[in-house]
Structure 1
Amino acid sequence: MMEGAVANSKLSYPPMSTRPLSFAHEPEGACEGSVLSKIAKMGSLFRSAEMTLCQLFLQSEAAYACVSELGELGLVQFRDLNPDVNAFQRKFVNEVRRCDEMERKLRYLEKEIKKDGIPMLDTGENPEAPQPREMIDLEATFEKLENELREVNQNAEALKRNFLELTELKQILRKTQVFFDEHEGGVNPTESMTRALISDDSIARQSTLGPVQLGFPDKQFDPEEYFPCFVAGVILRERIPAFERMLWRACRGNVFLRQAEIETPLEDPSTGDQVYKSVFIIFFQGDQLKTRVKKICEGFRATLYPCPEAPADRREMAMGVMTRIEDLNTVLGQTQDHRHRVLVAAAKNIKNWFVKVRKIKAIYHTLNLFNLDVTQKCLIAECWVPVLDLENIQLALRRGTERSGSSVPPILNRMESQENPPTYNHTNKFTSAFQTLIDAYGMASYREMNPAPYTIITFPFLFGVMFGDMGHGLLMTLFGAWMVLKEKPLAAKKSDNEIWNIFFGGRYIILLMGIFSMYSGLIYNDIFAKSLNIFGSSWRIFNVTKEELKLQHEFTLLPETTKNFLGSSYPIGLDPVWQLSKNKIIFQNSFKMKISIIFGVIHMLFGVVMSLFNHMYFKDKLSIITEFLPKLIFLVFLFLYMVLLMFIKWFMYFANIDEKDLIYGSRCAPSILITFINMVLQKKTPYDPDCLTSDMFAGQQGIQKFLLICAIICIPWMLLAKPVMIMRERRKSQHYSVSHQQMQSATENGDAEQPMHNNTAQPPVAHGGHEEEPLSEIFIHQGIHTIEYVLGSVSHTASYLRLWALSLAHSQLSEVLWMMVMNKGLKVDDWLGGIAIYIIFAVWSVLTVSILVLMEGLSAFLHTLRLHWVEFQSKFYMGAGYGFQPFSFEIILDSASQSKEEN
């Protein structure tokens, strides 16, 4: 039956381009292939993995188990073959509803478990998806637990309601007994009542000679004489004032109210909240007032209780109430114990139950994407899979088939498709954070060069240039190393703190940024605004006496007045003597500014070269000729030439004491920026009258003119070459098609002697997919692209000056913090200095971590991210693809847990 179903189903699908990848036997060279696939996956980090569209035929009995195995593998992205079918009309909608119902019951159990504060056991296990027949057992288990728990809750709520009523009745009997005892003892109740009823029209009069009068005769007041009827009840404490006013107005003052507060709060059985209530007793006369009073009590949701008139009856009722309360306490305790036992038993398995139900639900959601063949015996699916993982997918399908007990193996066919495949990059725990930074800008197009492997080095390096400080870099390195070393226990905690999750996800980025910051700090010789004197200074100041050295703490380091003491430069980084120099900022500004431009031009040039690999892979020769070459020439002939001028100036000009040297002396060294501007403007660079020339080398002016002309030619080259060549190719294609039609018509009419042109011509090869785009749009697109690149080359080069700006700001802020805070404690003498340095060091440490490490680190991180997204990736990265979203249980469970945490 299965073979017939497959045969029939193939009739409704286009023929496959390659042989079917069925696996009735073990693939040959499985071990060797797995090693090669691992090596290929490592290479796929540089370019997204090769994807293929496959068609999958599954027997209906084996489909569930096969999809379960594919979900555990997480390497298959299924396509919806029923886009026009309503979700409620699909084949497995009833199973999905059953899963929703089971999930609802589990959420109810989870809510009750959290309500009681019972810890839910999380063993970290990942149970397999249960078989379809096991769903019935799970449903029965959840139904039993829910019914039992609801029954226990209902019984507990009823017991609590009875307990509340008995407690309120006990308080009524106790409070009213106090009132009647006062009456029998001859005490005027108006002098001892808790609260007198006050009317809005001031019927109660305040006398200067006595207590408040309520309009009764000036004698001992007996409420039973005036009001033989009374009711007693309980009301919420905050409703008492309004309750009193409503009684007075509705009954026109013909009632007498006494109320007393219940000191202990009472539990509301419906909500479980603690509420405060008061006991009241109302005296009145006549059935009409009785009806009004009861309606008012009902409106204010006051609870009325029977209260006997005779003291003996009240005492007897109180004793009965106390006995019933004790019995209820016993029953309530047993009910709570039973509830607790049920919840504890459920808490041990609820995590695994959630995993199982969600896996079942995900499988049936996926099965709803499949099609049924004409025999209704076979399920047909289409999916994107990585080519390198086809062997693993085959093995997973085999396990699913054996697990289901089916004897017919599934069939996996590769298909040809004009649709753009999804982008999938193989990552691990180290590269995933860097890949996330790239994907945040835009998902790479299919098989486009991936910037992530290069970002692993360039990102922390450029960050270190801006954040160059050995001390702050050490703090960052220690924090990153701690997260890396404690990776497994920290990941197992699964914190809900979003900031911590961001830090932990980028732990390898933080570690590398800290290491490169320490390296840059070593080059800058900067550690907490101080220098390390490891090898001793290489400078020596002449013509300075000891007295001047004691009086003057800072000197200007000039090569004309100082000499190298060791005969060579400082071994690594900056000389520590620059920390004591007045012109330190001037020297470091010049040094860091030039370094920033050098790094920026090299970084952008590398991005342009990366575009060549994209064009070569896609065999786009037209883009190589019309885009890559002019871009490279424009960037090299202008900005790389400026970088070469910096190196020439460093190597050829020096600080000389001899005033007769008028060529390579320091005073004759031209400004690189002025030289570059005058090169573009075709002006002569001004120079000192005592110097012979402004040129750095012979023939500089002629070379600069040649470079400028070549760079200018590149602009129309980028602007017009590609559209013009595309236009010529289209004309050739049209001419070829016309000639081909003439040849066919001549052949059909028997006119073999008819002259034909270009009858041996071949159709042109399309370049870059522009064969269908209108020429007007091509011209506009190329014009925008040219203007963006030309202007962007200038702005992007200037943008790399942020390396210099942030490095300078960081070092100056660190120095200010040291001088304004830490240096104050070091100046305190005697024993107070120990206390002062202890306090000031704590303040300095907090400011250092919060401002210089966290805030400055975040600022440098964002600027580094911008340099990669805009200045580097814009040279070759399109980012117009869509990500590979495989059917993976791991992803589904993670997203479910995250949504639960947000709720």
Structure 2
Amino acid sequence: MTSIFRSEEMALCQLFLSSETAYNCVSELGEIGLVQFRDLNPDVNAFQKKFVHEIRRCEEMERKLRYLETEAEKDDIEIVDQGDNPEAPQPREMIDFEATFEKLENELREVNTNAETLKKNFLELTELKYVLEASQVFFAERDTEPSSNLSQNLLPAEEGPTQGPVQLGFVAGVIERSRMAMFERMLWRVCRGNAFVRRQDIPTPLPDPLTGQDLNKIVFLIFFQGEQLKVKVKKICEGCRSTLYPCPETAAERKEMIDGVKNRLEDLNTVLSQTNDHRHRVLVAAAKHLRVWFIKVRKIKGIYFTLNKFNFDVTNKCLIAEAWIPEIDLTRIKMALCKGAERSGSTMEPILNRMDTRTQPPTFHRRNRFTSGFQNLIDAYAICTYREINPGLFTTTTFPFLFAIMFGDCGHGIIMALFALYLVVKEKAIIAAKSKAEIFNMLFAGRYIILLMGLFSIYTGFIYNDVFSKSFNIFGSRFHVGNISRTAVLQDHKTQFMLNPADPTDYEATPYPMGMDPIWQLSLNKITFQNSFKMKISVIVGIIHMTFGIVLSFLNYRHFKKTIDIVFQFIPQIIFLMGLFGYLCFLVVYKWFNYSGLNDSPFLGHLKKIIATVKILTCTPNQYNVQVTLILICLIMVPILLLPKPLILKKQHEKRMKLRSRESHAYEQDIGEPEEEEEKFEFSEVFIHQAIHTIEFVLGCISHTASYLRLWALSLAHAQLSEVLWMMIFRIVKYGNRVYNGVSNLRRLVLLNYSNFSGYGRFVSILTHSSITLISFIRWSSAQNSCMVKGTLLSPSVLSILLMLKMSKYIRTDFTSTSDDKTVHILSRYHYPDIKKMILDIIYIPNQII
């Protein structure tokens, strides 16, 4: 219990390790994870430390492993993680690791280089094939077209010399489709319309050998006249990053070239397939051990990083270290050191000596799966000083409870609790899966927080009587509505009824057993009542929470024997807080106990006056004197918080300096490293710090109280949003019969065809069953409210009897009520052989009341 309530007691110990055993001893201590080493070489440059060369070797191995991991992820190869935690390897094994990683990296880089070259050649041959095929089509179209001056003058004959006076040249190539428009405009402007372009889209995207992206490309042929235009056209092609390919002039040569390209493509495809298979085999073999290699290399690196914090003795045969160790684990640490020495095969046992020190130890809190999330929440704001009370212990209750006050919905709380419960039940499988989704990992780390928030929300939901923004009439409302005609309720919507708590015919004069009376769900002043209640509850809980924090500070002061802080910190703070805000909570509770709905409260008469003026108003004869006294006392506490502590600390410092000047300074020297010098006392700094602390406390009492009102505000926002959803979106209640009948017919249709569509039918059947249950729940909740309006509210006992009759006789019922005797008639219709229909019909009972 002590380790949870306060941080662990720590001891500063000195270790003497031989050079042979140091590595294995640090390895064993690292597996335990309970030792924090101090750096005894803070002034030494990082590049001048003893084991910097080994750390660099580990970083190089990590780089190679990251390269292998990246290549495996590119091929979607699963990296096997068996959840093992291997021991740190021996230093001599680093040579084997380096050789293995070097071999794998070189082999993989060579394969990647060859594959890249093959892919580039494959792309070029593929583009050349499309160019040759497109040129065949272009020239074939020339041969089939009728003679014209253009065709006679542009192209030379295929079978003989040119028969016209004009000799045309052409170039062929491939360009990306996105650059084609710009390419044509530039050709037109530079060549001034003297170049003729033919184009054809490549039907399939071609992969880029460097990036792997699929590119859409176009084959083009450009016809021109003269060498000058040829030079210009080639420069434009080069500037637009197009690729030019040779294209023979005769059809026979083109056909022969196409056949050769296709043969080469087949060969390249075979070689590429073999190369990819070899690369895949290498990566699969590496992926099996990749996680284990990562763990081993990082452990080696961590061990040498820790050894760099050690000091060597004069002979360089012994390493000296200083470390903080929990006192309760000293025996365990000694056993780990002995185990490390045995692994090294050394006859020299490690030496562990406890040191006396005045240095403040580090804070260490033990954690488990449950407290880890709450402790991380506390540490995100601040970490306690050594041996202070750990607020994480109390946060396991206060944080989810404050959230529940803000949330306050039983239905949503059940959903949240079920989600967190699933994470808790499946936590071993989820941990083994090693998910990389950051948001999911964050939710999984706080699974116990979410679980408690859901459970507390269910509790506060019962207190608020709020389930999806609807109230449950579990115990029967304590208010009663007299005989009201059906016309007045259903047709005249402007008719309003006032229920008088003082009238025994309207109110039973007994409170609702648990939570709010469900009649408030239909009240016009529902928001006013709930706002007042939730606002006061938020303030009261907030003041209790703040008071509890001040009480914890008192326990810390008493533990550290700080009498000054108890007298001039805790006492003025608690008086100030109770004098103002404690009195406010007292007035709220006093009003609840002494003024009910049966009589008028004098507080209400002063409400507008209190808001409009700063005058101190009273309701009892002596209240004015009490309130003035409390205000004066609170004002006096402010200078008491500010002045005495700095003045007393200054006087103590002067007295201590006088004693120190008379005594010798021998006690300032120690056997080991000199103790850290006492922090210098500066009165101005102490006074400024105390002034800031006083101002923060005084203003913080007001601002924190206002901050706790967020619980009320967010609870109101949640309730109102749900109300809007019910009124504006979820109109299922209004059209309940049609929706219910439609879903029921769909379910019957699915069941008839269940044998033909077993998988799909099962899914739709489950979906329709869920829909019918949800609709019945909505209609049941609405029926409860309607019953309260009509004065025929079913008590729990009557509802239980009806449910029992329903289950025993399998009957469908109709309920009718009159304004005279309010009798209930049960009409038997037919039996249900299907138990599922019977259960759904039981849920469906209350809707017949309407």
Question: What TM-score bracket applies, with the shorter chain setting the length?
Answer: 0.7 to 0.9
Shift of 1:612: 0.9
* Distance in 1 (alpha carbons) for counterparts of 2:617 and 2:197: 107
The aligned residue for residue 715 of structure 1 is 638
Partners of 1:645 and 1:672 within 8 A in 2: no
Shift of 1:129: 2.1
The aligned residue for residue 300 of structure 2 is 360
The aligned residue for residue 898 of structure 1 is none
- Give 2:550's aligned amino acid: V
Corresponding position: 1:625 with 2:584: no
Of 482, 492, 500, the match for 2:422: 482
Partners of 1:460 and 1:509 within 8 A in 2: yes
Secondary structure of 1:119's aligned partner: coil
* Distance in 2 (alpha carbons) for counterparts of 1:565 and 1:245: 89
Of 347, 350, 355, the match for 1:407: 347
Instruction: Report Cα offsets for 1:49-76 as digits up to 9, x if no partner.
Output: 2223333222222222222222222222
Q: What is the number of residues matched between the two proteins?
A: 735
Tell me: CA distance 1:299–1:567, structure 2 relative to 1, closer, same or farther (3 Å). Answer: closer
Instruction: Report Cα offsets for 1:700-727 as digits up to 9, x if no partner.
Output: 5665565555444433332332233334
* Distance in 1 (alpha carbons) for counterparts of 2:644 and 2:371: 39
The sequence identity of aligned pairs, in percent, is 56
* Distance in 2 (alpha carbons) for counterparts of 1:522 and 1:405: 67
Alignment of 1:51-70 (within 5 A): 51-70=10-29
Greater alpha carbon shift after TM alignment, 699-708 vs 602-611: 699-708
Shift of 1:610: 0.9
Instruction: Report Cα offsets for 1:205-257 as digits up to 9, x if no partner.
Output: xxxxxxxx98999xx99868667796755332456677678778888999887
Shift of 1:135: 1.4
Alignment of 1:615-654 (within 5 A): 615-653=557-595
Shift of 1:624: 1.0
The aligned residue for residue 789 of structure 1 is 697
Shift of 1:511: 1.4
* Distance in 1 (alpha carbons) for counterparts of 2:679 and 2:142: 107
Greater alpha carbon shift after TM alignment, 565-574 vs 618-627: 565-574
Corresponding position: 1:143 with 2:102: yes
Partners of 1:541 and 1:562 within 8 A in 2: no
Of 235, 242, 247, the match for 2:174: 235
Of 722, 726, 729, the match for 1:821: 729
Partners of 1:401 and 1:409 within 8 A in 2: yes
Tell me: CA distance 1:545–1:370, structure 2 relative to 1, closer, same or farther (3 Å). Answer: same
Corresponding position: 1:780 with 2:688: yes
Secondary structure of 1:496's aligned partner: coil
Corresponding position: 1:610 with 2:552: yes
Partners of 2:480 and 2:505 within 8 A in 1: yes
Corresponding position: 1:390 with 2:297: no
Tell me: CA distance 1:285–1:468, structure 2 relative to 1, closer, same or farther (3 Å). Answer: closer
Tell me: CA distance 1:231–1:450, structure 2 relative to 1, closer, same or farther (3 Å). Answer: same
* Distance in 2 (alpha carbons) for counterparts of 1:559 and 1:467: 30
* Distance in 2 (alpha carbons) for counterparts of 1:421 and 1:672: 57
Shift of 1:798: 4.3
* Distance in 2 (alpha carbons) for counterparts of 1:670 and 1:266: 81
Instruction: Report Cα offsets for 1:713-746 as digits up to 9, x if no partner.
Output: 43333233223333443454466568x58xx9xx
TM-score computed with the length of structure 1 as normaliser: 0.71
Alignment of 1:496-575 (within 5 A): 496-540=436-480, 555-562=497-504, 568-575=510-517
Secondary structure of 2:472's aligned partner: coil
Shift of 1:352: 1.8
Instruction: Report Cα offsets for 1:357-403 as digits up to 9, x if no partner.
Output: 22222222222232322212222233333223333322322222222
Shift of 1:483: 2.0
The aligned residue for residue 131 of structure 1 is 90
Secondary structure of 1:49's aligned partner: coil
Greater alpha carbon shift after TM alignment, 713-722 vs 624-633: 713-722
Shift of 1:169: 4.4
Partners of 2:155 and 2:168 within 8 A in 1: no
The aligned residue for residue 750 of structure 1 is none
Secondary structure of 1:45's aligned partner: helix
- Give 2:87's aligned amino acid: E
Partners of 1:60 and 1:379 within 8 A in 2: yes
Note the residue ranges of structure 2 that are not aligned, 5 or more in a row.
Answer: 665-676, 745-766, 776-850
Corresponding position: 1:102 with 2:10: no
Alignment of 1:855-870 (within 5 A): none
Alignment of 1:297-336 (within 5 A): 314-336=254-276
Alignment of 1:159-238 (within 5 A): 159-178=118-137, 233-238=172-177
The aligned residue for residue 122 of structure 1 is 81
Greater alpha carbon shift after TM alignment, 338-347 vs 642-651: 642-651
Secondary structure of 1:54's aligned partner: strand
* Distance in 2 (alpha carbons) for counterparts of 1:777 and 1:672: 47
Instruction: Report Cα offsets for 1:106-161 as digits up to 9, x if no partner.
Output: 22222222222222222222222221111111222122222222222333333334
Partners of 2:606 and 2:617 within 8 A in 1: no
Secondary structure of 2:453's aligned partner: helix
The aligned residue for residue 666 of structure 1 is 600
Partners of 2:154 and 2:167 within 8 A in 1: no
Greater alpha carbon shift after TM alignment, 432-441 vs 84-93: 84-93
Instruction: Report Cα offsets for 1:531-565 as digits up to 9, x if no partner.
Output: 22222223346798999788787543433334686
* Distance in 1 (alpha carbons) for counterparts of 2:197 and 2:612: 101
Shift of 1:614: 0.8
* Distance in 2 (alpha carbons) for counterparts of 1:787 and 1:648: 31
Greater alpha carbon shift after TM alignment, 294-303 vs 454-463: 294-303
Shift of 1:78: 2.6
* Distance in 2 (alpha carbons) for counterparts of 1:555 and 1:386: 70
* Distance in 1 (alpha carbons) for counterparts of 2:705 and 2:138: 92
Alignment of 1:253-292 (within 5 A): 261-277=201-217
* Distance in 2 (alpha carbons) for counterparts of 1:679 and 1:275: 76
Of 704, 708, 711, the match for 1:800: 708
Instruction: Report Cα offsets for 1:459-479 as digits up to 9, x if no partner.
Output: 222222222222222222222
The aligned residue for residue 652 of structure 2 is 729
* Distance in 2 (alpha carbons) for counterparts of 1:729 and 1:486: 59
- Give 1:144's aligned amino acid: K
- Give 2:564's aligned amino acid: L
